[in-house]
Structure 1
Amino acid sequence: MECILTAALTGILFALFAGQPLNILGSTGPMLVLEMIIFKFCHDQGWEFLPLRAWVGLWSALFLLIIVAFDLSALVKYITRFTEESFACLIAIIFIVEAFKKLFAITDKHPYNIHPEIPLDYTCSCYHSNFTMPDPNNATLMNITSQIGYSVFDMTKGMSTALNQNKTDSNVTDYSTFLTKKECESKGGMMMGTGCDTIVYHDNVFFLSIILFLFTFGIAWTLKMSKTSRFFPTFVRQYLSDFAVLISILCMVLLDLYIGVPTPKLEVPKKFAPSNDKRGWFINPFHPNNPWWTILVAAGPAIVAVILIFMDQQITAVIVNRKENKLRKGNGYHLDMMVVTVCIVICSLFGLPWYVAATVSALAHIMSLRKESESAAPGEKPTFLGVREQRVTALLVGILSGLSVFMTPILTIIPMPVLYGVFLYMGVAALKGMQLTDRILILLMPTKYQPDHIFLRHVKTTRVHLFTLIQILCLAVLWAIKTTKSISIVFPVMVLGTCFVRKAIEKVFTHDELKWLDDIMPDDSKKKKEDEEELKEDDDGDEETESLLGDEKRRLNEMKAIYGQGDKFGGTKTPFAQDRVNITEEVNKTGIWLQVRRDSMPVIRDPDQNNGGLHNRKNGSRDKKDKKPAEKTSFFVGEDERTPLKEEHEEDDMV
């Protein structure tokens, strides 16, 4: 319930007041790691967790306010693609790994039998604690066995009821008629028999969970990629791509209901109350079990929390505001941090989890709001136009998250393996489009099969591989620190350390190489040199302006002469077209446009040649030879393609 309330509260506040509402707040893996560290620390010291956590949150809010007041969010200029993709890739890997971990954790409650050829003994019954074991020769009382679970003994109706409810047929599966060991002991009974310690296997539960997991991911990924397929009209593929995850969830829920196997389902609280019944909603920071000096001790973890919150929030914001997304509105780094600070204060005092910008969710939000051009010509790919920048979707996410409390009957039928498949899809989708992912794939490709990436045109392949290996090494160090509990407290500091690693590799790579492989970090030492150069340019500005104006005036006079006198300047100069049609490269290569190009080619004849009559017909072959090579028509080409087409005329003559 705490997570649902936090998602609704922070989602609505951030959507209404944030500077960049395209970010989606959520509970991230690094933040959960930090809270687990604080919880373990409190448990070891014998302190109350939530009051100390409240002080950590209040100290963190104070430090974040200082960051906002002094505009320290401007430090995001030192966060380059190297740090962005390392952090985003780490979060995506966490999603993928945790999805598989949760899937295989199903075997803890629903194990599967790896040796089905060995017969199993399930001879076990639930008896009264004062019950005396009968004579083994009495088959009536001892034949209380089952092939699929523990036998049932109804403590209110007696042994005869137990005999009637017992299932001796292995083909019958009725999970409601069997008591577990804990249920038997809770009713005052005890388990007796030779098979009481035999593990109860539920093979169908685990293997159906695998099917639901893989099919959820497969359907969502296939529908998402259907946007570029050749099937169905464009608007159908667009809708299938936008609602890919929802369609996959609905299909797998219906399949699970049809089969009827009791797979683990989503657990949703039935009432609006804290998960722990012993506490209320408001957390009193002054708890009697915690010494007064714990208020000061909380400042230490708060510094670590501030580093993690700042890096998590701002790295996600930098990724969202990347120029590739073609955003038009402002960034709002400082305002976003202020809104997050207010949310952290509220969450700390009410015992709610801390929510910051979630990288994977924000990227999924950006992908769902992409705008593309309509394909007008055959074979033309749609062009990315930008992102729909608005607050409605983020606001609806927050509102619907809060209303999910009233949808408990619907949410409880969703199998957990389906949600694990959604996590896998979100992790894999976040990796798609990263330059780091492209460079890792290039490591496994021969040179002749490598895609035509822009950085491969300007940087040697060996240098690209070296840059990739350094980034992979940083990613491995971050993963190792995160998974090692004893040193996981320094994880936020190591995330910040990637910025210093990026600064250090400037000694290894040149400025041009980093320009294509990464972003250029600002250099304060160069500001003075740039200012001096600007002053020199200002001094020489008047002379340069006059010379430039003179050159421009001369060009304008030449163009006027060409337009006014035409062929007197050689007969091969064509005025610039004012009604040029923009044609894509794909259409340019089609046979239809090549024919238009040949048919629209002007023919310039010798002025001394006679026009008309028998003489002209007899010398028809000479006319073909006397054709002068003309330029491409302005209807077809631009200003940079005004060259004679000699080779094409020679091909036409040969034909």
Structure 2
Amino acid sequence: MRSVVKAAGTGDQHWLVIIPAGVPNTLIENVQANRDLTREGQSLGVIVPEEDRMPVAALCATSWKSAKECISLQGHFVGTACGHHGPYTPDVLFWSTILFFSTFFMSAFFKQFKTSRYFPTKVRSMISDFAVFLTIVIMVLLDYAIGVPSQKLKVPSKFQPTRDDRGWLINPIGRNPWWTVLAASIPALLCTILIFMDQQITAVIINRKEHKLLKGCGYHLDLLMVAVMLAVCSIMGLPWFVAATVLSISHVNSLKLESESSAPGEQPRFLGIREQRLTGLVIFLLMGCSVFMTGALQFIPMPVLYGVFLYMGVSSLKGIQFFDRLKLFGMPAKHQPDFIYLRHVP
């Protein structure tokens, strides 16, 4: 027989009022009305005294972490100090904001560490190359040490479809009538145009001449592989994917070659891109292996991931001609770089 579990907070403790399922609702409401616990005018929930507990209710005291236990017992929370998902925990928003901005600024600091004066060149280069990874590790350890229950990355514990009523393969039509196939052709055409533009625009940005690529591009082959994989994802009910612009630009920036020696005060010269397939292969192999790393991934706070996304978006703006042109509006003419489009206006 299931019980209704009600939660109430008092100071540093979290009280659970366990009311058997057979108790009438009117009796429960009467107990709540007469035994409501208040603190500074704020309703915290219901506490039933010793003489009223049996057989109406049973009372137990536990820590704030027992909110998960309350949810697992099919319970719900009452009182203005308790939200829909459980008792409110102080400082979560403030700590999440600190994690978010700390991740962004620390990633940028480590990325620029290559030009600092500390440590040997190899060490500085290593810190710069693994800036985001080091930042995530530091932020996860810091979040664990502080102990504020920030929102964590939700990952499934088993390698299976998220819904129990479906398998790995999906019937494209299902229970829909036959005419939905014809009706779906209109949004399918719009999605085709969107996917084509997103894929090809990303490919054009990556293969522009400023990157000094030596190997040829494969626009048609890339588009063919995307089409085949989208068909497979549709049959299996998986999300669609195309070339990610921000991730692709970040990948290219991480493979840049620069001159090792330069005059004092002079920036290193850009020499080209390390054109190889190894990093892409390792990236997707690690993505596939991530399904076996759920035990570690569930400790990553969501604000840390948001900070990484912000850093990737901001860092990808570097070298974009449109963004460089926008910065010229607030730059005096004597400080403007020697861009070709400033000397020769078409």
TM-score, scaled relative to structure 2: 0.81
Pick aligned residue for 2:89 from 177, 202, 222: 202
Is 1:353 paired with 2:242?
no
Q: Residues 331 and 148 from structure 1, CA distance in 2 versus in 1: closer, same or farther, beyond 3 angstroms?
A: farther
2:40 equivalent to 1:177: no
**Counterpart mapping for 1:223-372 below 5 A:** 223-287=110-174, 289-372=175-258
2:91 aligned counterpart, secondary structure: helix
Q: Distance in 1 between matches of 2:33 and 2:191?
A: 65
Q: Deviations over 1:150-197 (max 9, x none)?
A: 5688xx9978962x517xxxxxxx32235899778x35x895xxx457
- In structure 2, the gaps of 5 or more residues are 1-13
Gaps of 5+ in 1: 1-121, 167-173, 460-511, 513-655
Q: 1:427: how far off? A: 0.8
Contact 1:149 1:178 in 2 (8 A): no
Number of matched residues?
320
> Do the aligned partners of residues 314 and 152 (structure 1) sit closer, same or farther apart at CA in structure 2, a change above 3 Å counting?
farther
Structure 1 position 346, deviation (Å) = 0.7
> Aligned partners of 1:310, 1:416: CA distance in 2, in Å?
31
- How far is 1:228 from its partner? 2.6
Shift of 1:226: 2.0
CA offsets 1:101-128 (integer angstroms, 9 cap, x no match): xxxxxxxxxxxxxxxxxxxxx9996645
Native 8 Å contact 1:266 1:413 kept in 2: yes
Distance across 2 between alignment mates of 1:355 and 1:202: 37
Conservation of the 8 A alpha-carbon contact between 2:202 and 2:245: yes
Identity %: 50
Deviations 1:229-284 (A, max 9, x none): 33333222211111010011011101100010110000111111111221111011
Name whichever structure is richer in strand by fraction. Answer: 2
Structure 2 equivalent of residue 617 of structure 1: none
By relative contact order (CA 8 Å, sep 6+), the higher-ranking structure is 1
Q: 217, 226, 249: which one pairs with 2:104?
A: 217
C-alpha spacing 1:148/1:220, structure 2 compared with 1 (3 Å) = farther
Q: Which residue of 2 aligns with 1:165?
A: 61
What is the alpha-carbon distance in structure 2 between the residues aligned to residue 148 and residue 415 of structure 1?
A: 31
| Counterparts in 2 of 1:449 and 1:283: CA distance versus 1, 3 Å | same
Aligned amino acid, residue 165 of structure 1: A
Q: CA deviation at 1:453?
A: 3.0
CA distance in 1, matches of 2:77, 2:102: 43
Contact 1:123 1:144 in 2 (8 A): no
**1:407 paired to 2:293:** yes
User: 2:206–2:249: 8 Å Cα contact kept in structure 1?
Assistant: yes
CA distance in 1, matches of 2:18, 2:80: 10
Higher share in helix: 1
1:78-157 superposed matches below 5 A: 127-128=19-20, 129-130=23-24, 131=27, 133=30, 150=45
Q: Distance in 1 between matches of 2:189 and 2:242?
A: 16
Question: Quick one: distance in 2 between partners of 1:305 and 1:265?
Answer: 32
TM-score (norm 1): 0.44
Q: Give the deviation of 1:292 after TM superposition.
A: 1.1
Secondary structure of 1:291's partner?
coil
Question: What is the aligned counterpart of 2:325 among 439, 463, 470?
Answer: 439
- In 1: Cα distance, 2:45 partner to 2:211 partner: 59
Mapped to 1, the partners of 2:33 and 2:15 lie a distance apart of: 13
| Distance apart, 1:135 and its partner CA | 11
Displacement of 1:205 after TM fit?
A: 0.5
Letter in 2 for 1:370: K
Structure ID, larger Rg:
1
Question: Aligned equivalents of 1:410 and 1:198: distance in 2?
Answer: 30
Give, in whole Å, the separation in 2 of the partners of 1:380 and 1:143. 69
What amino acid is aligned across from residue 304 of structure 2 in structure 1? V
- Letter of the 1:177 partner, please give it: S
Verify the 8 A CA contact 1:227 1:241 in the aligned structure 2.
yes
Root mean square deviation, CA, Å: 3.4
Deviations 1:20-41 (A, max 9, x none): xxxxxxxxxxxxxxxxxxxxxx
